[in-house]
Structure 1
């Protein structure tokens, strides 16, 4: 919470009245996983994927399709802690989108920590509450390559965020690269559907190969910005029921496999 307050104070000092009272179609915080299980290649793919999506015609058209034709967006990277990479910006024009995408090209380093989806959600909600914008919709978009294994239970954080009227969408990264292969869940998409996402029109877009990441991000942003309530990729294959996932599976895996954390 001290970290959240520090960012809130810094934002207020940097622009004390710049965003106050500005109405937007959407307040969107992009919470992007940079935990230790992510390789440098994967971190680069994520940044490039979001930058490409923001520069796309489809995302620009989605922004212009809204009632007010402007949105507020921030980009935050998280692991066990959170770091604001791009503070809140008002996006109306293609130039605004290009500038935001350009800000993602800066050098970065992984936090090399565990995975706390729950604390990412709590941070995201506080970051939205403090931004000074007034959105018709408020959304946390959280990505991750594994289940929560640190901090408060993810369902506790999810329910707290949903009670504030904030929708949570997900981007489960279901690849098997790097250290993430030791913590891989074959049904991470079901975990996100059961334990992470929520609110009116909430959805998750799974990424099963890194080659699919840029298109998945573009499609997800279009759905979020345009306010489409569709749930892509969430229909069970061949009508097989999707059994709920154990929402404490990450904590159990950490307890059973934490010795692997220090393995080369």
Structure 2
């Protein structure tokens, strides 16, 4: 009886630990495939994101989190109705799970290439993806792009009309010849406490910038402003 009681206690402890661990982060990665992004730049995003997820420090951050799992989804966005889900919700609980996600991202085929930049619609689509997410402590949309909204409604309308109240939106701006993109993302796109912006110096810098961004998002690191590299704000 003593041995049976010990076994029951052990099973209860393990099951309680699993329940308490749960999911710590539901992360949606949204990639810009509007007409301003050419084929070579698309490949730099696609392969850069796969490499960032595969980076040793990002893998470690995902798998060593004591407070629960990371759930990941990936979609592309451009015009009003031009969004494509490439990776549906996947729990990253092992290296094999990450391997499969990396392969899926690296194998993506571009969905659209001749539509404008509709950030409001992209955020609305992200909200619909999050509705099907596992129950997690944090919910984050990671918006990357190289331009400002130029078609349809903007981020403010999306935040008013979609269930994004408890969602943090971070940004990754890819610098190009377009003026005002950093300011637009900082003022219009970022949302939620500790939301932050990472700036990539062109598409060639996308991989390194996304690696840095994923590591920070997964670890929920709060930093001050670093001019020219990362900015953060509460709101």
In 2, Cα distance between equivalents of 1:75 and 1:60 = 17
SS in 1 for 2:199: coil
Q: Verify the 8 A CA contact 2:86 2:108 in the aligned structure 1.
A: no
Residue 246 of structure 1: aligned partner: none
Cα offset, 1:150, TM superposition: 1.5
Residue 169 of structure 2: aligned partner: 168
Matched, 1:211 2:212: no
Q: Verify the 8 A CA contact 2:118 2:154 in the aligned structure 1.
A: no
Cα offset, 1:208, TM superposition: 1.8
Equivalent of 1:116 in 110, 118, 122: 118
Q: Verify the 8 A CA contact 1:172 1:189 in the aligned structure 2.
A: yes
SS in 1 for 2:198: coil
Cα offset, 1:157, TM superposition: 1.4
Cα offset, 1:159, TM superposition: 4.7
In 2, Cα distance between equivalents of 1:84 and 1:53 = 19
CA displacement 1:28-51 (0-9 Å, x = unmatched) = 110100011101000000011111
- TM-score normalised by the chain length of structure 1: 0.73
In structure 2, do the counterparts of structure 1 residues 105 and 189 end up closer, same or farther at CA, with 3 Å as the change threshold? same
Aligned pair count reads: 206
Matched, 1:221 2:214: yes
Residue 91 of structure 1: aligned partner: 92
- TM-score normalised by the chain length of structure 2: 0.81
Q: Verify the 8 A CA contact 2:146 2:176 in the aligned structure 1.
A: yes
In 2, Cα distance between equivalents of 1:127 and 1:34 = 18
Cα offset, 1:211, TM superposition: 2.5
In 2, Cα distance between equivalents of 1:110 and 1:163 = 25
CA displacement 1:4-44 (0-9 Å, x = unmatched) = xxxxxxxxxxxxxxxxxx93110011010001110100000
In structure 2, do the counterparts of structure 1 residues 197 and 107 end up closer, same or farther at CA, with 3 Å as the change threshold? closer
Residue 252 of structure 1: aligned partner: none
Q: Verify the 8 A CA contact 1:29 1:141 in the aligned structure 2.
A: yes
Q: Verify the 8 A CA contact 2:127 2:164 in the aligned structure 1.
A: no
Q: Verify the 8 A CA contact 1:33 1:79 in the aligned structure 2.
A: yes
The equivalences for 1:29-68 within 5 A come to 29-68=28-67
Q: Verify the 8 A CA contact 2:73 2:88 in the aligned structure 1.
A: yes
SS in 2 for 1:229: coil
Q: Stretches of 4+ moved more than 3 A in 1?
A: 158-163, 231-236
Higher strand proportion: 2
Residue 194 of structure 1: aligned partner: 187
In 2, Cα distance between equivalents of 1:161 and 1:140 = 13
Runs of 5+ unmatched residues, structure 2: 1-20, 230-235
Q: Verify the 8 A CA contact 1:169 1:198 in the aligned structure 2.
A: yes
